[in-house]
Chains A and B, each alone.
Chain A
Amino acid sequence: MMASLIFVASLATLWMFFVSYCRSLMASSSRHPLSAEVRDVTGIRTVASAGDYRRVMQLLQLCPERREERNKLQAVNIYHSFLSGTRQMFAWIVPSLRSWAEHEQAGCAYFAAVALDRRIAHNREMLAQQDNP
């Protein structure tokens, strides 16, 4: 009885800290405006939607990666999968969870779009350096 109580309480705090931790990782990119070409290529105008994530991730895979953002992207990817799982498993019990999870997934999509923007800018810079040594 006691063990199950501790288990449930610790799962609840684990969920809360995990969500806040992922949000703190994404917080740095939330104020970063997207460039016009990333907006064109991803279809994100001002606000991203939950459905944009997969497309942006596919685009990210086409672009050579930057080492410094790899861990953050992995963490956000885990967060996105966790949100998908939460949506599928619990949305029928708590309907407000669906809109909350979609809002969070939109945040993940925007974070990925900002990462794409930074990758494109970085690669462009590298190319310019190669052209003008």
Chain B
Amino acid sequence: MPGPIDLIIWFLGTAFELAFVVCSLARKSFLRYFFLNLYLLLSTTVSIGRFFILWSYGQRSGQYMYFYFYSDALLTVALFVALISLYSHVLGELTAGEYVKWGAVFLLLGTAGFSYAVVAQSANRLSTNFAYELSQNLYFVGLVLTYILWGAVLKLRETRTRLVQIILSLGLYFSAYAASYALLNFSGKFSMMRYICPALGCFLPLSWSLTMLRYTDESRLVPARLVAVPR
């Protein structure tokens, strides 16, 4: 069973995920940010499901392992779709919606194909290895896509505060996640590191909830002020 700190982080993360959905409903923005809500609702359901399976079968059971890896792959795909929906928000006025949709499908299939090619050599646990590989690769694709989206936000002089902060939170989350994974490779089983990735999982829904609470859809900002190093 996970320790008390793991459980606290787990419950907090689930509470923040639900908080975002409640905030969007209260702010009447549920449909506007439907795919973000869908991702967080799915994440809440998976979190509860994982807890029950962990409780019933234990952490080292095959049931928990399969559920964990498959649900993780499903959540990563849902996050990818949520990210693409943000592209639609930003590029909506350019009537580029169709290109974005096809580009996303192509990228998703390409990543899945690449992940399959990587794990195809190992015959053991092919499907769980594939799910794990797909999640990892989609996270990396997500980081690159968020970076490009941020470039589009600056180029198109996006002024909607809420949208800008949602994208920035996502960028922070992906970068911190990638950095912590790389750090995990250096540090091995260093005790503090095992809390960092789950704690980062709390950051995204918390930051989105605060954005939803603080700003309305009418809030605007000056995009030039957001550039990290002004030219």
Contact = CB atoms under 8 A, between A and B. Distances in A.
B168 A3 contact: no
A71 B43 CA distance: 25
B44 to A, nearest CB: 22
Interface stretch (A20-28, A38-46, A56-64, A122-130): A20-28
Interface of A is mostly: helix
A7 B183 contact: yes
B226 A100 contact: no
A23 B225 contact: yes
Interface residues of A, number: 26
Interface in A1-60: 3-4, 6-7, 9-11, 13-21, 23-24, 26-28, 30
B147 A13 contact: yes
Contacts of B183: 7
A9 B226 CA distance: 20
B124 interface: no
Given A20-B168, A24-B165, A28-B221, A7 B227 contact: no
Nearest to B165: A24
A14 B175 contact: yes
Interface of B is mostly: helix
Contact of B186 (A3, A19, A72, A100): A3
B20 to A, nearest CB: 15
Contacts of B175: 10-11, 13-14, 17
Interface in B158-190: 161, 164-165, 168-169, 171-172, 174-176, 178-179, 181-183, 185-186
Q: Closest 9 CB pairs between A and B?
A: A7-B182, A14-B175, A10-B178, A17-B171, A3-B185, A10-B179, A19-B228, A13-B175, A21-B168
